[in-house]
Structure formats: C-alpha cells, structure tokens
Amino acid sequence: MSIMIKGFVESSLIEWEGNIVAILFLPHCNMRCPYCHATHLVQKPNELESIPLEAVEKRIEKNKDWLDGVVISGGEPTFHDDLDELIKIFKDMGLKVRLDSNGTNPDKIEDLIQRELIDCIAMDIKAPLRDVKYNEVGGVTCSLSDIARSIKLIMESGIEYEFRTTVCPAFLNKADIVEIAQSITGASRYILQSFRPTNCLDNKMFDVIPYSEDEIRDFAESARRYVKNCYVRGEEMKALSCNW
C-alpha cells in the first residue's frame, strides 16, 4: 500500500462524539483555505515523517478492545487511491470508520457509502454555495455542483454524519452561516468551529481577530431555524448530556 500516514493520535474522547477513536492524518489537499492550520500536511507533507502503517495497525490492534473506531482525516483523504484498502484494515478489526472530507470528490464519497465502508462522514462546508465566496474561502476554484452533490449524497446516505464550518471573520458573517444552514435544511447536525489565528496557511490570517464565543453562539442560534442540532464545536457534548 502506497498511502502515507503523516499523523496519528492513539486515542481521543472528543473527536467523534460518543466514541473513543484513533485518528489518522493523511497528506495533501486540493484546497488552499487561507486559515487552514494543517500547513505542512497541505503544502509540505514530504517534510513530515511518515508513520509506518504496520506500526499504526499494531497500536490500534492492541487497543481495539476499548476503541470504538478510527477517524481518517487530512488533508483530503478521498484523493488517495489506497483509501479503500486502508479503511478495510480497520473494518476487518471490527472498528467503525469516520471519514473527514471537504466534499469535492462526490464520486469517491458515493462509492464508500454504497460499499458500506464508512459508518460516519464529517464534511466541511466552507461558505455559502456561491462561486465567488466559495472560491475565496477555499483558496481555489471549486465545483459547486460537486459540493452540492456531496451534501445530497451524505444527507440521503442513512449513515451518521455532520456538516461543519470554520467561522473566520475575514470571510464569513452571521448571514453567511444562516445561508449555509438553509442549504442543508433538516440536516442531522451542523457544527460551527471558531477560527484560530495560529499556524495559518496565509500569514495575513494572523491579524484576524476571531469572533467572540457569544457571537458564535448567536450564529448557531440563528442557524437552528434550519438545522435543529446546530452547535459550536465543544458545546455539542454539553447539549447531548442535557438530553440524557
């Protein structure tokens, strides 16, 4: 298998709500979001040490009795030819798999869903589905038809999923978040992530002041008109615990 693993978290209690998971980070991405903080994964992955797949397998095999699943993130994992083989390794261990994606490769997403290789998918929606805005936030020219198709596939998949948006004041305001929420009306979950001005792809982002916690919560409250389960990252577990 030619796939490279550039990051590995042995266990996490917060990455996939309700699950204890290992996290793998794959290199390369077809987008160039200015606020992206996975700089080396995107721009200089060859400068990062590769973690042997065999070592990852051994650690996960050792821990699988108390692990619920594996999250495969990036970068953008769907453009790796060996992704299917990688997923099958963990599925054969009896573990669930969540895929993190930017939604630009709907053919691969559809294939993975149809073959029941993934149990959950988390898709980033960068901006309202308008060409100029999406291209600005994504840092490249995006196919909005591909983005829209991925959204539809995911919402009709029958598997667990969430959509999420990084809320950066340089690009998005409250009206934009509401517009995104409207485009995914009825989705099972929509998560807002606060922008962090650290280790960004574009140095200009270091000068951007993030929205306050109260502002982000207000955005989420407004988005709930369209997506009932809209939360700020880190607060969704509080909401879930209140419902137990």
pLDDT per 10-residue tile (average), the chain, 244 residues = 90 94 96 93 90 96 96 96 96 97 98 98 97 96 97 98 98 98 98 95 96 97 98 66 37
| Confidence (pLDDT) at 1 | 73
Residue 185, in any domain of the structure = yes
| Confidence (pLDDT) at 203 | 94
Residue 2, in any domain of the structure = no
Domain encompassing residue 184: 7-242
Residue 1, in any domain of the structure = no
What CATH number is associated with residue 127? Answer: 3.20.20.70
| Confidence (pLDDT) at 237 | 45
| Confidence (pLDDT) at 180 | 98
| Confidence (pLDDT) at 239 | 43
Residue 235, in any domain of the structure = yes
| Confidence (pLDDT) at 235 | 67
Total tally of structural domains belonging to the chain: 1
| Confidence (pLDDT) at 242 | 37
Which H, E and C letters describe the chain, residue by residue? Answer: CCCCCCEEEEEECCCCCCCCEEEEECCCCCCCCCCCCCHHHHHCHHHCCCCCHHHHHHHHHHHCCCCCEEEEECCCHHHCCCHHHHHHHHHHCCCEEEEEECCCCHHHHHHHHHCCCCCEEEEECCCCCCHHHHHHHHCCCCCHHHHHHHHHHHHCCCCEEEEEEEECCCCCCHHHHHHHHHHCCCCCCEEEEECCCCCCCCHHHHHCCCCCHHHHHHHHHHHCCCCCCEEECCCHHHHHHHCC
Residue 85, in any domain of the structure = yes
| Confidence (pLDDT) at 243 | 38
Residue 49, in any domain of the structure = yes
Residue 108, in any domain of the structure = yes
Residue 140, in any domain of the structure = yes
